[in-house]
Structure 1
């Protein structure tokens, strides 16, 4: 059993880390601003599902592959960067009436959920971060280290969901106002496309 003081320290650290601007924060912000809070929550749920994958990978030792294998690291980040470029293309080529009519906002929740999963899972830096962060709060003297890391990963996911969910609601309310103007819609899509290109470049040039 992990001591309460250790859990509180972990939650405080996880909460602070969630506030640090990063790819996931910007991704949720862009999607929520484009399509509204419901879509933002769906993307947030997908990102958190991706964190479940990383937690399991770290707990089972799979994440160590990305820390030791340059080929695996490069392959995964290339997939992630290509996906972000695809999203950027869709943003740059979207027409104002596609958002104003609500057709984009009516995308199935599972589709946006899947978008969040792909965004998170294809970032090998998340796996390496979990590999470095979670073990610091575990101890073999407290029982199964795997169970401890699963528990800590779950707490991290809860913190991330609450923070990203708040971003979704705030940015989503902005979306409702911006979608009233075609010019604002075009501007918002270009900003989102630029964000996606920036995230793709950052991911493509990142190192272990």
Structure 2
């Protein structure tokens, strides 16, 4: 790949990473409520979701979503339901806060799996790669492998960005826990997740 094409893809990846989405909100929410370790666990799940898309592209399966509209609808619906469920739980926690937490370290499996599923069940990400990658890798026999390597770029950049989000959100969360601000944060995040679920449900396979 020419240097100018790689630079263009990197700049595009930076824009994609800095655009707020479910990954950013999920990491921020877990870090604010459970600390840096919980936020970084969610980052790890998001990164593994990126490996999932790399594998799909490398083996040529990514285009299946456009070939079979029914499959796209199934994945889209599952993703929308999952985001809506996360939003509902956040809103419920804001309205009916749980008893004061103990000093025990939070479990890290939950944020990890939520980060993975939030990424893997978002077919809009797959459609974005399908629409953009051919302009950078062409259509030759090596295109899937090149595409898989390019998909790694936004997820590597995103891991650093989300780690920074986790540290900032954890610090803000420690201060918010001493007031009622945490309930407002959870409520806003919950509404945002429900809104993202609605947008995903209305997404079209185009």
| Alpha-carbon distance, 1:132 to partner | 1.9
Aligned partners of 2:54 and 2:149 also within 8 Å: no
Aligned partners of 1:34 and 1:188 also within 8 Å: no
Question: Which runs of 5 or more residues in structure 2 are unaligned?
Answer: none
Tell me if 1:83 matches 2:101. Answer: no
**TM score, norm. by length of structure 2:** 0.86
Whole-Å Cα distance in 2 between the matches of residues 133 and 37 of structure 1? 34
Aligned partners of 1:58 and 1:127 also within 8 Å: no
Deviations 1:142-192 (A, max 9, x none): x822332222122222111112222222122111111122x2232222222
Higher mean C-alpha deviation, range 143-152 or range 11-20 = 143-152
| SS, match of residue 196 in structure 1 | helix
Whole-Å Cα distance in 2 between the matches of residues 130 and 139 of structure 1? 13
- 4+ runs of 1 displaced by more than 4 Å? 97-100
Whole-Å Cα distance in 2 between the matches of residues 144 and 163 of structure 1? 30
Mark the CA change 1:53 to 1:6 in structure 2 (over 3 Å): closer, same or farther: same
Higher mean C-alpha deviation, range 30-39 or range 187-196 = 30-39
Question: Which runs of 5 or more residues in structure 1 are unaligned?
Answer: none
Aligned to 2:161: 163
Mark the CA change 1:56 to 1:201 in structure 2 (over 3 Å): closer, same or farther: same
Aligned to 1:202: 199
Aligned to 1:34: 33
| SS, match of residue 169 in structure 1 | helix
Whole-Å Cα distance in 1 between the matches of residues 124 and 100 of structure 2? 33
Whole-Å Cα distance in 2 between the matches of residues 138 and 30 of structure 1? 36
| Alpha-carbon distance, 1:127 to partner | 0.9
Aligned to 2:188: 191
| Alpha-carbon distance, 1:99 to partner | 6.2
Aligned partners of 1:55 and 1:153 also within 8 Å: yes
Whole-Å Cα distance in 2 between the matches of residues 206 and 140 of structure 1? 26
Mark the CA change 1:61 to 1:14 in structure 2 (over 3 Å): closer, same or farther: same
Deviations 1:64-100 (A, max 9, x none): 1212322111111111122122222322333545565
**TM score, norm. by length of structure 1:** 0.85
Tell me if 1:61 matches 2:60. Answer: yes
List aligned pairs for 1:1-208, cutoff 5 A.
2-94=1-93, 95-98=96-99, 100-101=101-102, 106-107=106-107, 109-139=108-138, 144-181=142-179, 183-208=180-205
Q: Which has the higher helix share?
A: 1
